[in-house]
Structure 1
Amino acid sequence: MPSSNLSKDPDREELADARTAWAQDRTLLANERTFAAWMRTGMACVALALGLRAVFGDTEYPYVAKGVAEVFIIAAVLIFISAAKRCGAARGQIDRHDTEVASYTRMITLAAILAVGSICVGGILWLL
């Protein structure tokens, strides 16, 4: 695929190839935005778990509050893992042309850190 450096007088095929390349680049950038949205959703699940524990922690049944909070911690971890897998799958199907995208290793590292952090928060919730 050609880069954005078109010849001085591009023909229809060259223009079509350039448009295709730019569309693929936009798709890669959309994939990064989707990954970030899934990370935010996972962190919202962790925040919800902490909020549930804070609100319902002093009830007669603290284990119920902890159990429900853990459901959201598990959901967060699954969201992080799913986001990393989906991001990798999308990256493997699309060629990069003119855009600079974040490295897949960095995305996997972020998802792993958030997953481990969520598991730690879940452990702390049981100790409170």
Structure 2
Amino acid sequence: MANTSSNNRLASERTDLAEDRTEWAEDRTIMANERTFAGWMRTGLAAVGIGLGFNALFGKLEPFWLPKAIASLFMVIGIFIFWAAQRNGCAVQDRLNSHKATPVKPNNMRLISGLMALGASSLIVAIWAMDFGD
């Protein structure tokens, strides 16, 4: 009888430890998801920056619309990356439960991505509205 009680206690302790490890793993996954989201956002910003840089360096190319079109293409790629980052990041956040970590809320991910996309879109409009003159 004492042996059964001891086995039950050990099984209970193992179950508790397994649950703790699972909770820690979920928290680590949440934090990894946030780092991945930040990496995607940096990549999107890099695409927007390449577009701006291209337009600044080659703005006088002929025909006049070519550097603007190439710059716009890079910025559209950046906007797509922002969208993909929030889509994937929010999907992961929705599937996981945090235990000790405080995750970024999916709505904040959407807000950050939306503002970055709005900024990139505004830059596209500004590039096409600019007049380089002679």
Please confirm whether the aligned pair reaches a TM-score higher than 0.5, indicating the same fold: yes
2:62 and 2:87 map into 1 onto residues whose CA distance is 40
Compute the RMSD of aligned alpha carbons. 1.1
**Structure-2-length-normalised TM-score:** 0.85
User: Is the helix fraction higher in 1 or 2?
Assistant: 2
User: The residue matched to 1:23 in structure 2 has which SS?
Assistant: helix
2:101 and 2:52 map into 1 onto residues whose CA distance is 39
Per the alignment, residue 129 of structure 2 pairs with: 127
1:113 and 1:59 map into 2 onto residues whose CA distance is 31
Per the alignment, residue 66 of structure 2 pairs with: 64
2:64 and 2:84 map into 1 onto residues whose CA distance is 30
Per the alignment, residue 39 of structure 2 pairs with: 37
1:62 Cα deviation from its structure 2 partner: 2.2
Q: How many residues align?
A: 119
1:113 Cα deviation from its structure 2 partner: 0.4
Equivalent AA in structure 2 for residue 127 of structure 1 = A
1:106 Cα deviation from its structure 2 partner: 1.3
Instruction: Judge conservation of contact 2:94–2:106 (CA < 8 Å) in 1.
Output: no
**1:5-53 Cα distance to aligned partner (Å, 9 max, x none):** xxxxx71111011001000000000000111111111111111001000
Pick the aligned partner of 1:46 from 41, 45, 48: 48
Q: Which runs of 5+ in 2 are unaligned?
A: 1-11
Instruction: Judge conservation of contact 1:56–1:62 (CA < 8 Å) in 2.
Output: no
2:61 and 2:89 map into 1 onto residues whose CA distance is 41
Alignment of 1:103-118 (within 5 A): 103-118=105-120
Aligned sequence identity (%)? 35
Q: Which runs of 5+ in 1 are unaligned?
A: 1-9
Equivalent AA in structure 1 for residue 95 of structure 2 = Q
1:69 Cα deviation from its structure 2 partner: 0.6
Per the alignment, residue 3 of structure 1 pairs with: none
Equivalent AA in structure 2 for residue 37 of structure 1 = G
Instruction: Judge conservation of contact 1:42–1:77 (CA < 8 Å) in 2.
Output: yes
**Structure-1-length-normalised TM-score:** 0.89
1:60 Cα deviation from its structure 2 partner: 2.2
